[in-house]
Amino acid sequence: MKQEGKGRTGFAAITVTVFFLGCFLSLILFGTMIYRSIADGHESSNRKRALLSYLLTVTRVNESAVYTAVGEYGPMLIVADGNSGYAARIYAADGYLVEDYGKPDGKLYPDAADQIAETDRFEIEELQNNLLEVTTSQGTVYLHIGKGGAAE
């Protein structure tokens, strides 16, 4: 009879151990899923900020004319390169926002352009007081075009 009690106690100890081990592993999986969700949100936020910051920086750093045009792929943001007759042309093509360098009114080569970021939307609206509203699928950035077309 003594051995019967020991067997039940051993079985109960194993059951409790397995239960707590299962709870522990469940907490680890739950914590991992939460961490992954937070990390994905953080990465998404960084991508959005990177694209909008890029647009702002490209126009602010260049002291030459910044203007808009409509090209073969839709609206373009053109940042002229001084008096050279060339410009950085930013436009959407094949699901990406791309930048290439060439004559402002020259042929566009999206296959040879640098991909900035994925976007299925690129719209430029000229608002009052020399203000451009540039909208992508990552958000909207406002660019104030100063005297002579330079972005501020």
The average pLDDT across 50-71 equals 78
Q: What percent of the chain has pLDDT over 90?
A: 25
pLDDT of residue 105: 86
pLDDT of residue 152: 46
Q: Round the average pLDDT of the chain to a whole number and report it.
A: 83
pLDDT of residue 45: 75
pLDDT digits (tens, 9 = 90+) for 73-108: 999 988 887 778 888 899 999 889 999 998 888 899
Report how far residue 103's alpha carbon sits from residue 83's, in angstroms, rounded to the nearest whole number: 12
pLDDT of residue 28: 93
Which conformational region is residue 111 in: left (phi greater than 0), alpha (psi within -120 to 50 degrees), or beta?
alpha
The answer to whether position 3 is within a domain reads no
> Poorest-confidence range of 59-63, 75-79, 106-110, 126-130?
59-63
pLDDT digits (tens, 9 = 90+) for 6-30: 667 888 889 999 999 999 999 999 9
Is residue 150 very low, low, confident or very high in pLDDT (cuts 50, 70, 90)? very low
The answer to whether position 31 is within a domain reads no
pLDDT of residue 66: 83
The answer to whether position 132 is within a domain reads yes
Is residue 1 very low, low, confident or very high in pLDDT (cuts 50, 70, 90)? very low
Helix (H) or strand (E) holding 100: strand 96-102
Q: How many helices (H) and strands (E) does the chain have?
A: 1, 8
Domain of residue 80, residue span: 48-149
The answer to whether position 25 is within a domain reads no
| Count of structural domains within the chain | 1
The answer to whether position 43 is within a domain reads no
pLDDT of residue 43: 80
The answer to whether position 41 is within a domain reads no
The answer to whether position 54 is within a domain reads yes
Specify burial of residue 100 (Cβ count, 10 A radius: 0-12, 13-18, 19+).
Answer: buried
Look-up of token digits 């540039």: 134
Residue 51 DSSP SS3: helix
More confident residue, 45 or 3: 45
The answer to whether position 122 is within a domain reads yes
Bridge partners, 97 (sequence order): 92, 117
